[in-house]
């Protein structure tokens, strides 16, 4: 009996060791990919090189992997990203997600406190007069989202604003269709305001 328990313990330890080694190898491969292409726009730590590009630091691994897969399949349109992901395997996409998820999040300071204040109202309460749903209902009170719904907290304001525009025009249709309805009801002021507020969240 003791022999069986010892053998089982050794097997479990060996499996954990191999899994750890495989995970380390995957992250090493992800770091190579980031250093070879992703860093140009997104930075080595996912901090983004420009307000035009999304911050990937602390984004959910599963969400990143899904977006990469959608870029590769053409479900999400971007000539630049299509070229970047063309040769990536599903395992590499998962590894990239895990790589960026481990990076510390960054945020922005509000350049216009009044505008961010309007954004806070939309984010937390929506607009009951026009039917805009509160962002917190899906993305959470802190904007941290879920593995299926993106972390918004600290995201680049300009990037967020552009994505809301694309949801409205249906240029982006690879995600939850609820965003089409929400984006279509936002005014330009509300888009700018909510994007400004979200960018300040930690």
Map residue 186 onto helix, strand or coil.
coil
DSSP letter for 93, please. H
Name 132's bridge partners: 127
- Whether 72 and 82 have beta carbons less than 8 Å apart is answered as yes
What is the pTM for the complete model shown? 0.86
Rounded to whole angstroms, how far apart are CA atoms 41 and 47? Answer: 9
Residue-level pLDDT at 140: 98
pLDDT tens sequence across 173-202:
998 889 999 999 999 999 999 999 999 999
Domains along the chain? 2-101 (1.10.760.10), 113-198 (1.10.760.10)
Closest CA to 72 of 49, 54, 89, 50: 89
Give how far the C-alpha of residue 124 lies from the chain's centroid of Cα atoms, to the nearest Å.
20
Q: Which tens digits make up the pLDDT trace of 158-173? A: 999 999 999 999 999 9
């Amino acid at each position: 009996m003791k022999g069986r328990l010892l053998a089982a313990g050794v097997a479990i330890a060996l499996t954990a060791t191999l899994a750890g080694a495989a995970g380390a190898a995957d992250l090493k491969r992800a770091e190579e990919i980031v250093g070879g292409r992703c860093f140009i726009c997104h930075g080595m730590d996912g901090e983004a090189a420009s307000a035009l590009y999304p911050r990937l630091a602390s984004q959910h691994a599963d969400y990143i992997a899904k977006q990469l897969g959608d870029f590769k399949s053409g479900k999400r349109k971007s000539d630049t990203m299509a070229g970047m992901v063309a040769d990536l395997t599903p395992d590499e996409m998962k590894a990239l997600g895990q790589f960026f998820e481990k990076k510390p999040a960054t945020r922005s300071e509000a350049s216009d406190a009044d505008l961010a204040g309007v954004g806070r109202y939309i984010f937390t309460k929506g607009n009951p007069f026009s039917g805009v749903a509160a962002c917190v209902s899906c993305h959470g009170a802190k904007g941290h989202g879920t593995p299926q719904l993106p972390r918004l907290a600290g995201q680049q304001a300009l990037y967020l604003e552009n994505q809301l525009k694309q949801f409205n025009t249906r240029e982006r249709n690879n995600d939850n269709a609820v965003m089409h309805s929400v984006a279509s009801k936002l005014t330009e002021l509300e888009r700018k305001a909510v994007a400004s507020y979200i960018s300040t969240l930690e």
